[in-house]
Structure 1
Amino acid sequence: MELNLRYDMNSPPFGAPHPALYRAAIEQAAWADRQGFDQVFLAEHHGAEHGYCPSSMVLAGAVFGATKDILVHLSALVVTLHDPLRLAEDLAVLDNISNGRIVFTAGMGYRPHEFEMFGRDITKRLSIMNNTMETLAKAWTGEPFEYDGRTVRVTPKPVRPGGPKVYMGGSTDKSAIRAAKAGYQYFPGHPDLFEIYKAEREKAGFPPPEQLLKPGPSFLYVSDDPDRDWPLLAPHIAYATNTYAEWAKERGTGETRYAEATSLDALRAMPNIKVVTPDECYALIKGLGPDSQVTFHALLGGLDPELSWKSLRLFGEKVHPRLVADGLVRAPRG
């Protein structure tokens, strides 16, 4: 079973200030590293009204400086909005800084204003993405290659042969098919897409993919008094889930795990939002079983870092040791 953290740093006016959120994310990643967590997921969007993280690679560098073993997974890294050569350089440096702990899910992007912001044609995003992925593969050999009619070279070489581990992301049937035909591992926006991906990958003659881990809740919070904490958490959860649901409309197609919510009761009824006691959390996670993935979106919606820390520490004290004893997760490092 995987234990992960996730951050997007999006914070409404009533949320915590960004300096506090970034500092908390780095400190929580260090805590998770000591606890034996597997990955820190960092998201990326640009020009968002409330400060969604636009530079996940910079944040990844800060996380690597505070950790020793945990992976950082850029999910998704919107590769169509980055210069391919500079992207290859930045990721190669992160791979060296972390000694091979950088992973990314390549996203095509779907928000029109982001493409306008960077002067990119959104109707050409597929060709831009294909060109970028081809450039990364050539760049990470460390050898000279032809690019736009000139000879270029990207150094240093990544620690991993061939470069950082790459997943293809997406929230549509077409994304699943593209990833399968190109032989990439796939990180779907919705689990149902993985079945399409597996079938198409087999048709293309590739070996079976990595197993898709069963996802836990989109938001999981451990509390010694859920009824007390729900009113404190609800505005932040509602802001985040409503924002993601609204942005999803810009795709035109595809599914996400987020839906709009207009009341506390509506939030509490969502199956992927859980505010639970330590005993309930243990039962929930144990019920997921092996081959599953539990991710704490610890600062969702600009959540007060102190309120966030209460949940993580309670999990670390009351839940994590029981999961270690059951052999479901790793013991704390050191």
Structure 2
Amino acid sequence: MKFGLFGGAARGDEHSGDSQSYRDFIDYVVRADELEFKSLFLVEHHFTGMGQLSASITLLSYLAGLTKQIRLGTGVTVLPWHNPVLLAEQAATVDLVSNGRLDFGIGRGYRPNEFHGFMVDPATAQERFDEAIALILKSWTEQKRWSHKGTYWQYQDVVVEPQPVQLPHPPIWVAAQSEGSVRKAAAKGQSMLLDQFSDTETIGRRIGWFRDEQRQNGIAALPGQIAVTRGLLLVENNDQRDTEIKQRLTAIEALAATARVPGTEENAPVVGSKMLDSSREGTEASTIIGTPEDCIARLNELADVGVDYVLLNDPTGGLERLEFFARDVMPAFAQQTEAKPMAAE
């Protein structure tokens, strides 16, 4: 089993401005690289008022120069917000300066406040997503000048530069939940990002869909194609468990509030609210929680349903918990390798 990070800088209560939170987060990622975490997937969010990371590609470019081996991913870049050709140029630049370490995670978006702020009709999200990814892939693979007159974007006589280092292009990671979206990602040869709130049984079911679709399409089922995000609540003793749970629930409730359109009622439903489960039961079921022994057991439960790649989301633990996990949990999984193909179930 391999481990990466998921998340991004955010302005905490202890910070008077954004610069401190970004500096702390950058130090966190540099230390993760030293501790041999496999990857970082940065979120992209807008208009929250909480200082959440918005310019993930820009930050990845900076981190590329500070790190040596950790893969640099977007988790996810929301395609409806971006000009696809400009995004293709920016992402290829990250791949270039990192010497081929970009993992390009993409999604359609789910937060109502973002659609509202950008004045984008949510009903057009899928069409925008489909047109955008086709244009990005063309930008990365077409050597000659080309033109495009689409529904949402138009270009005339363009040749997109630079080209990425990874050929034919950086790995595409898709955030997926429904059976249809999971199977679509598998059939297209894409990798998959699974959310941090679903329980282990649900995660296993989605992995089964992915592997079954690979089998039906004759696509090799390899390790590291599916990354599952989990909240990390690692503690030295279980007396600290309740405090950690309450802290996580408070953070999730705050995120849910920022996803609403300004001026709407607090109890108004949030599109994608299942991705922001603020129940104690949900936290108990979906996090890597407890002492090192408890966390190892929880990770082994995930391994039993086919998980071999876990992204840790820990906005409050800091360097101390990162090092604690690397010292007391990661060695239990050090003998597992990526060398052999996996059986498609």
TM-score tier by shorter-chain length is: 0.7 to 0.9
The residue aligned with 1:70 is: 70
Question: In structure 2, what is the Cα distance between the partners aligned to 1:16 and 1:134?
Answer: 41
Q: CA deviation at 1:157?
A: 1.0
Question: In structure 2, what is the Cα distance between the partners aligned to 1:54 and 1:175?
Answer: 25
1:237 and 2:248 matched? yes
1:104 and 2:104 matched? yes
The residue aligned with 1:169 is: 175
For the 8 Å contact 2:42–2:74, the answer to whether it is kept is yes
Unaligned runs of 5+ in 2: 149-153, 261-268, 339-345
2:270 corresponds to which letter in structure 1?
E
The residue aligned with 1:54 is: 54
Matched length: 313
Question: In structure 2, what is the Cα distance between the partners aligned to 1:137 and 1:320?
Answer: 36
1:176 corresponds to which letter in structure 2?
V
- Secondary structure of the equivalent of 1:104? strand
The residue aligned with 1:227 is: 239
Q: 1:329 to 1:7 in 2, by over 3 A?
A: farther
Aligned with 2:166 (options 147, 160, 163): 160
Question: In structure 1, what is the Cα distance between the partners aligned to 2:19 and 2:337?
Answer: 32
1:260 and 2:278 matched? yes
For the 8 Å contact 1:241–1:260, the answer to whether it is kept is yes
For the 8 Å contact 1:268–1:274, the answer to whether it is kept is no
Q: CA deviation at 1:130?
A: 1.4
Q: CA deviation at 1:284?
A: 4.0
Provide the aligned C-alpha RMSD in A: 3.3
Q: 1:209 to 1:72 in 2, by over 3 A?
A: same
CA displacement 1:50-82 (0-9 Å, x = unmatched): 222111112212222221011112111101110
CA displacement 1:116-163 (0-9 Å, x = unmatched): 322333222222111111111111124321132511111111101222
For the 8 Å contact 1:230–1:275, the answer to whether it is kept is no
- Secondary structure of the equivalent of 2:5? strand
For the 8 Å contact 1:176–1:188, the answer to whether it is kept is no
Q: Percent identity?
A: 23
**TM-score, normalization: structure 2?**
0.77
1:313 and 2:323 matched? yes
For the 8 Å contact 1:9–1:52, the answer to whether it is kept is yes
User: Where does 1:183-332 land on structure 2 (aligned, <5 Å)?
Assistant: 183-189=189-195, 191=203, 192-200=205-213, 205=217, 207-210=219-222, 213=226, 215=228, 218-228=230-240, 230-231=242-243, 233-243=244-254, 247=259, 250-251=270-271, 255-256=274-275, 258-261=276-279, 266=280, 270-285=284-299, 288-289=302-303, 291-299=307-315, 303=316, 307-324=317-334, 327-328=335-336
Q: CA deviation at 1:49?
A: 3.1
For the 8 Å contact 2:227–2:311, the answer to whether it is kept is no
1:131 corresponds to which letter in structure 2?
E
Which consecutive segments of 4 or more residues in structure 1 shift more than 6 A? none
Q: CA deviation at 1:283?
A: 4.4
Q: 1:75 to 1:209 in 2, by over 3 A?
A: farther
**TM-score, normalization: structure 1?**
0.79
1:240 corresponds to which letter in structure 2?
A
For the 8 Å contact 1:214–1:288, the answer to whether it is kept is no
- Secondary structure of the equivalent of 2:310? strand
Question: In structure 2, what is the Cα distance between the partners aligned to 1:169 and 1:133?
Answer: 14
